[in-house]
Amino acid sequence: MAANGKDTTGSAAPVVAALDAVSVRRYTTGQVILDDIDWTVRSGEHWALLGANGAGKTTMLRLIGALMHPTTGSVEVLGHRLGRVDVRELRAHIGLVSSAQKIPQDATGHTVVLTGHTGTVQPLWRKYDDEVRERAHALLAELEIKELADRAFGVCSGGQRARILVARALMADPSLLLLDEPFNALDLPSREDLIDAMHRLATTRSSLATITVTHHLEELSPAIGHVLLLKEGRVLTSGGAEDVLTAERMTECFGRPIEVSRHEGRWLARSGRR
């Protein structure tokens, strides 16, 4: 399958997530958080979800992660429509990485990855046979952090913790991986290590689809081929990264002049002169 989410015959890849005329409103105030959202993510596609604070990015991710339901419209994830499926079972097949996840600080890297098998915060030791334990070790090796297997999560660096959480999310062998600001508070070397790891995953797992929420274009790996710009709860534009990540569209999205450049597959955005 090609990096653009199409197979070699040219037919469309399977849909892993689809939002159709989705709106979300707060019941208490009637505030519109998302308004008439249409979006389709296919197998093997790697999306960036961008927008200013309050644009609705986290709500979009929560919908696709089966953590909430829309007020109107339909959300289908991995072939199941929200409202017609046990969301607990569905979540077991969706990988989620977030810096806000609550992880026991004294748990070892291997133990943290193991909990991805059961989708729990605390380990359920009786659920982890030798095969599951070996899979956790293999994922740590795949993320190039096998030396963290016996190290307490709390003493790992930010970048190391981020890669442990990616390994944890992959324990369920998900078709869809959601990354909610995974680069939050990482220093430059840690950021680059995580970007490299995500690029390798995109290369080695051809059917895996990813959605990354971030505030900085510099945090996007060269594997990101699609971008959705969200502004005030509505889709401003979406499509191929080269078509969406332009100075004109980024300026419209963020409400100030923005210059966009690209070097060796990596993007950079900075405030332009008024």
- Give the range among 10-24, 130-144, 215-229 with minimum mean pLDDT: 10-24
160 and 28 inside one domain: no
Same domain, 2 and 88: yes
Instruction: Quote the distance between the C-alpha of residue 240 and its chain's center.
Output: 17
CA angle, corner 70, sides to 177 and 88, nearest 5? 50
Per-residue b or e along 201-232, where b marks 16 or more CB atoms closer than 10 Å to that residue's CB: bbeebeebbbbbbbbebbbbbbbbbbbbbbbb
- pLDDT > 90? residue 268: yes
**Does pLDDT of 274 surpass 70?**
no
Expressed as residue numbers, the domain containing 16 is 1-93+174-274
- CA–CA dist 164, 209 (Å, integer): 19
Whether residue 99 is contained in a domain is answered as: no
Asked whether residue 15 falls in the same domain as residue 82, the answer is yes
**14 falls within a domain:** yes
What is the arithmetic mean of pLDDT over 240-251?
96
3 state SS of 77: strand
Residues 184 and 205 in one domain: yes
Number of domains in the chain: 2
Whether the pLDDT of residue 24 is over 60: the answer is yes
| Res 87 pLDDT > 90 | no
pLDDT value, residue 99: 73
Let me know whether 168 and 151 are in one domain. Answer: yes
Same domain, 151 and 67: no
Among the listed residues 272, 269, 273, the one whose alpha carbon sits nearest the alpha carbon of residue 52: 269
Rounded Cα gap, residues 88 and 98, in angstroms: 18
Please list the alpha-helical segments (H only) found in 3-99: 57-64, 87-91
Domain boundary residue, one of 123, 153, 173: 173
| CA–CA distances in Å: residue 231 to residues 8, 60, 228, 237 | 35, 12, 10, 9
Domain finish residue from 173, 194, 219: 173
Same domain flag for 80 and 201 = yes
Q: Please check whether residues 48 and 145 belong to one and the same domain.
A: no
Q: What percent of the chain has pLDDT over 90?
A: 76
Tokens read off for 35? 């308004």
Neighbours of 271 (CB within 10 A): 11
The answer on 58 and 22 residing in a single domain is yes
Q: 120 pLDDT band (50/70/90 cuts)? A: confident
Sheet of strand 15-25: strand arrangement? 32-42, 15-25, 72-77, 80-81
Domain-terminating residue out of 158, 173, 188: 173
Query: What is the pLDDT averaged over residues 88-99?
Result: 87
pLDDT at residue 6 is higher than 70: no
Q: Find out whether 156 and 164 touch, Cβ atoms under 8 Å.
A: yes
Rounded to 10 deg, the angle between the 158-170 and 130-142 helix axes is 130
Looking at the structure, do residues 79 and 186 belong to the same domain, yes or no?
yes
- At 273 the pLDDT is 67
CATH of the domain at 216: 3.40.50.300
pLDDT tens for residues 133-190?
999 999 999 999 999 999 999 999 989 999 999 999 999 899 999 999 988 888 899 9
Q: Are residues 84 and 112 in the same domain?
A: no
Say if residues 109 and 156 touch (Cβ distance below 8 Å): yes
